[in-house]
């Protein structure tokens, strides 16, 4: 599919891992891009403004949305609160998502809405791929520090679906698996653990498998995901084509660096969640960054001194 060009686009959560690189990529493609975050410190705005992303300050938890621009063609909603408090998590991830759609729709008569959800909404079921209609569940409750994540993401999906139907806004909900890029990702935390000889948590039901997707492919996939935007909202699984486990990527990081990973099988972590990607494949999307190459690029960008060669 053709890249997105010439559009007025709001990207929320622009200071986060996934949304930031996507916003700068869209700006480089000739779009008018607005990057939204709280921006409590004005200095936080400068790196984005330098990359042709116009910054706007919003607060989903408090309903502060007065800077949402007019005449938007597209909202890419990535902002997420990872709070231990359910009231705060629901205010940001559920109520705030619906309020954002309503505000943006009131200021544009042509808007399409993309809502980034997560495969964290699925109830893990051994290693069977999850399709969009499979049972939902609280997969992240065992993970320390993330007791509200799965449930508030489910609530967010429900309110986005309801609001899209009520307002007639074409909407797609992407359930993202494990995102990573040259500058970010779960793998880097595991690399730091390997450096310190700390065992990496893996689920007792090994291997602890996912479908990681690189930032390059995240940017490429957006037009394919948007092709599903409709009223009522459509839900689409979102990830990379290769099934890779925590064990796999830690072993690969060990091969590249000479570090030796060790593992701590436990129930106090996320079980394997493998999304079925048939919908994305039906639109013709395939990922291009092999996970081994992605890991090498990540170490090269962040810890080049660790590479053996």
Q: Which of 13 and 309 is assigned the larger pLDDT? A: 13
Q: Which of 31 and 141 is assigned the larger pLDDT? A: 31
Going by the DSSP 8-state scheme, the letter that residue 40 receives in this structure is -
Q: What pLDDT is recorded for position 143?
A: 84
At 124, the pLDDT band (50, 70, 90 cuts) reads confident
Give Cβ neighbours of residue 50 (< 8 Å, ≥ 6 apart). Answer: none
- The arithmetic mean of pLDDT across residues 113-118, rounded, is 98
Any domain includes 97: yes
207, burial (CB in 10 Å: exposed 0-12, middle 13-18, buried 19+): middle
- The arithmetic mean of pLDDT across residues 167-186, rounded, is 97
Q: What pLDDT is recorded for position 133?
A: 97
How far is it, in rounded angstroms, from Cα 224 to Cα 136? 24
How far is it, in rounded angstroms, from Cα 30 to Cα 4? 8
Any domain includes 307: no
How far is it, in rounded angstroms, from Cα 168 to Cα 87? 28
- The arithmetic mean of pLDDT across residues 148-163, rounded, is 97
With left for phi above 0 and alpha for psi between -120 and 50, is residue 277 left, alpha or beta? alpha
Q: What pLDDT is recorded for position 289?
A: 98
Going by the DSSP 8-state scheme, the letter that residue 186 receives in this structure is H
Q: Which domain holds residue 61?
A: 8-181+212-241+277-287
Backbone angles phi, psi at 98, to 5 degrees: -65, -40
Give CA 210 to chain center in angstroms.
Answer: 14
Any domain includes 16: yes
Calculate the alpha carbon distances from 292 to 242, 245, 248 in Å: 10, 12, 10
Any domain includes 175: yes
CB 213 within 8 A of CB 239: yes
Neighbours of 5 (CB within 10 A): 9
- Say whether pLDDT at 126 is over 90: no
Q: What pLDDT is recorded for position 253?
A: 98
Q: What pLDDT is recorded for position 255?
A: 97
Any domain includes 204: no
DSSP SS3 for 84? coil
Nearest alpha carbon to residue 107 among 64, 75, 59:
75
At 145, the pLDDT band (50, 70, 90 cuts) reads confident
Kindly report the average pLDDT of the chain as a whole number: 96
What total number of domains does the chain contain? 1
CB 236 within 8 A of CB 172: yes
Any domain includes 18: yes
Any domain includes 248: no
Nearest alpha carbon to residue 169 among 235, 102, 116, 76:
102
How far is it, in rounded angstroms, from Cα 105 to Cα 111? 6
Any domain includes 203: no
Q: What pLDDT is recorded for position 309?
A: 64
- Say whether pLDDT at 60 is over 70: yes
- Say whether pLDDT at 180 is over 90: yes
CB 201 within 8 A of CB 264: yes
Query: What's 18's domain CATH number?
Result: 3.40.50.720
């Amino acid at each position: 599919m053709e890249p997105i060009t010439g559009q007025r686009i709001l990207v929320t959560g622009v200071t986060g891992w996934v949304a930031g690189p996507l916003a700068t990529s869209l700006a480089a493609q000739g779009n008018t891009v607005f990057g939204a975050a709280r921006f409590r410190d004005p200095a936080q705005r400068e790196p984005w403004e330098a990359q042709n992303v116009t910054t706007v300050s919003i607060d989903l938890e408090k309903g502060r949305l007065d800077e949402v621009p007019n005449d938007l063609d597209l909202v890419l909603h990535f902002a997420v609160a990872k709070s231990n408090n359910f009231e705060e998590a629901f205010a940001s991830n559920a109520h705030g998502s619906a309020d954002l759609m309503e505000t943006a729709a009131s200021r544009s008569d042509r808007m399409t809405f993309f809502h980034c959800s997560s495969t964290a909404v699925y109830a893990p079921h051994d290693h069977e791929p999850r399709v969009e209609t499979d049972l939902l569940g609280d997969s992240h409750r065992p993970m320390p520090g993330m007791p509200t994540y799965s449930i508030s993401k489910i609530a967010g999906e429900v309110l986005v679906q309801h609001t899209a139907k009520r307002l007639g806004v074409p909407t797609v909900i992407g359930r993202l698996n494990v995102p990573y890029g040259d500058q970010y990702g779960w793998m880097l935390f595991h690399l730091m653990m390997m450096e310190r000889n700390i065992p990496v948590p893996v689920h007792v039901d090994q291997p602890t498998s996912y479908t990681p997707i690189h930032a390059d492919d995240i940017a490429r996939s957006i037009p394919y995901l948007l092709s599903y935007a409709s009223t009522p909202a459509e839900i689409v699984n979102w990830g990379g084509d290769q099934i890779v486990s925590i064990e796999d990527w830690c072993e690969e990081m060990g091969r590249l660096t000479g570090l030796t990973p060790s593992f701590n099988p436990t129930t106090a972590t996320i079980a394997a969640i493998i999304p079925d990607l048939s919908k994305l494949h039906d639109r013709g999307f395939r990922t291009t960054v092999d996970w081994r190459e992605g890991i090498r690029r990540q170490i090269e960008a962040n810890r080049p001194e660790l590479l053996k060669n």
